[in-house]
Amino acid sequence: MSLLREIEASIVDPNSDLSSILLKLRLLASRLGSRPLEEWVKHEAEGYPEDIEVPEYRKIPVSHSGNWAGPFGSGIQNAPIPPALIAEHAGERWLTKEMRESAAAVDGLLSYNKDQNETLRVDASNLTLLLQGHVYPEWNCIAAWGRVSKTSLREIQNAVRNRILEMIIELEKEVPAAAEVSLGPPQPDAASASDAVTQIYHQTIYGPFTNVTSTGANANLNLTIAQGDTEAMIGELVKAGIPQDAATEFAEIVAGEEPGSAEAPFGERTRAWLARNIGKAADGTWKIGMTVATKVLEEAAMQYSGLR
């Protein structure tokens, strides 16, 4: 049985272990030559480092409570703290927790006190100082803590499973070679589909990122850029999956030099910029595959210059 078929069988089995599914998917990603997919699977299996942004489905809401001491021995215990006050006096970041733990760790948290609380406590000791005098002005905040719902953790598991299933379905349709990859020796032809695999990865993990309706020689790119409209070009590139800073830099370079022809729309400085930066699409830094990124940038330059 191929790796893709094994993953399919495991992902629809409610008793299957997510960690073992991720191991198979990581091997499949490696055989298909998609480094971005391989990196995502690695982070899901081992945890997300602090310098890596976590996907949206791993950002979960946190509710807070605290204890206050008042005059003459009075006090308030386990009182909910309004989120609006936390946002105002401590910052929005306290209202969301980025779950950087591995899939196995999330499983472990869900099994912790399985028959008891449906919430897990989160350290918020620094919040005690930040809220001092802002919740009950005449009372001292002596402790504050956060809680996350176990339902949010289950949603992370479901999100990962659903994305893997969607990705496998798309690979089966768009990259037939993926269904032939097995535990045997690597197949030379499999890695040739790396761009297509990476594009499918971005679409299923992060959502649709470009309006490319064809990737052939006459690809129809649904960009809308009026001639000379730099802001529109930046906006369309960002929507396509190119980071804001890169889109801005590209637009400024295109605007600052003479346009080429319909066959070669890039000027000298634009070509130099492309040579330095296009690799970021290949390694997953940009949320767009390298082939599609090249077509999008070319189309944007042509529309801006009035060549299209």
Residues 114 and 174 in one domain: yes
Handedness of CA 212, 214, 215, 220 (dihedral sign): negative
How many structural domains is the chain composed of? 2
The better pLDDT of the pair 140, 213 is held by 140
**CA separation (Å) from 164 to 2, 12, 125, 202, 276?**
16, 10, 37, 12, 32
Q: Kindly state whether residue 150 falls inside one of the protein's structural domains.
A: yes
3-state secondary structure 119-179: EEEEECHHHHHHCCCCCCCCCEEEEEEEEEEHHHHHHHHHHHHHHHHHHHHHHHHHCHHHH
The token pair that represents 229 in the structure block: 């409209």
DSSP-based helix, strand, coil % in the chain, nearest 5? 55, 10, 35
Residues 260 and 179 in one domain: no
- Specify the DSSP element, H or E, that contains 241: none
Q: Which domain covers residue 80, as residue numbers? A: 1-194
Write out pLDDT tens, residues 126-136: 998 898 888 88
Q: Is the pTM of this model over 0.85?
A: no
Q: Kindly state whether residue 267 falls inside one of the protein's structural domains.
A: yes
Residues 146 and 261 in one domain: no
pLDDT of residue 2: 85
Write out pLDDT tens, residues 39-82: 999 999 999 998 888 888 999 999 999 998 988 888 888 889 98
CA distance 19 to 11: 11
233 in Cβ contact with 225 (< 8 Å): yes
